[in-house]
Amino acid sequence: MTRIIVAITAILLAGIGSVVSAEVPLQRQTELLHLLKHDCGSCHGMRLEGGLGPALTAQRLAPYGIDFLALTIIQGRPGTPMPPWRPFISEHEARWLAQQLKQGIRP
């Protein structure tokens, strides 16, 4: 019984850690959402429903994990028009942005 409680506690704490690690200061969130609308939107569509790049809707991104999406944001996609955004945002911010996209945010 003790092992089960310890296992459940560990799982819950792991989930809380990922939420806490995704926190970004409010001012920076505003800047990232502006970037999403104006920079990402120029290829992915102003409503993120697709354009030169694929749609960034929650439904379209559902099969992909946060880590994969954040890595795509940071490193870009070689052989495609998707540029690396590492010079402009941190990995932490890319994870936050990926979480927002997976939750269906619209700029």
pTM over 0.75: yes
CATH 3.40.190.10 fits domain 25-102: no
Task: Please check whether residue 99 is in contact with residue 66, taking contact to mean a CB–CB distance below 8 angstroms.
Answer: yes
Q: Which residue has the tokens 């439904």?
A: 59
77 three-class SS: coil
Average pLDDT over residues 89-106: 97
Residue-averaged pLDDT of the chain: 86
Question: Residue 36 above 50 pLDDT?
Answer: yes
* pLDDT band per the 50, 70, 90 thresholds, residue 21: very low
**pLDDT value at position 107?**
77
Question: Residue 87 above 90 pLDDT?
Answer: yes
**pLDDT value at position 79?**
95
| DSSP string across 11-65 | HHHHHHHHHHHT---HHHHHHHHHHIIIIIHHHH-TTSS-SSSPP--HHHHTTS-
Question: Residue 2 above 90 pLDDT?
Answer: no
Q: Where do the structural domains in the chain lie, given as residue ranges?
A: 25-102
**pLDDT value at position 106?**
84
Question: Residue 103 above 60 pLDDT?
Answer: yes
* Percentage of the chain modeled with pLDDT above 70: 79
Question: Residue 41 above 70 pLDDT?
Answer: yes
Q: Tell me how far apart the alpha carbons of residues 70 and 73 are, in angstroms, rounded to a whole number.
A: 5
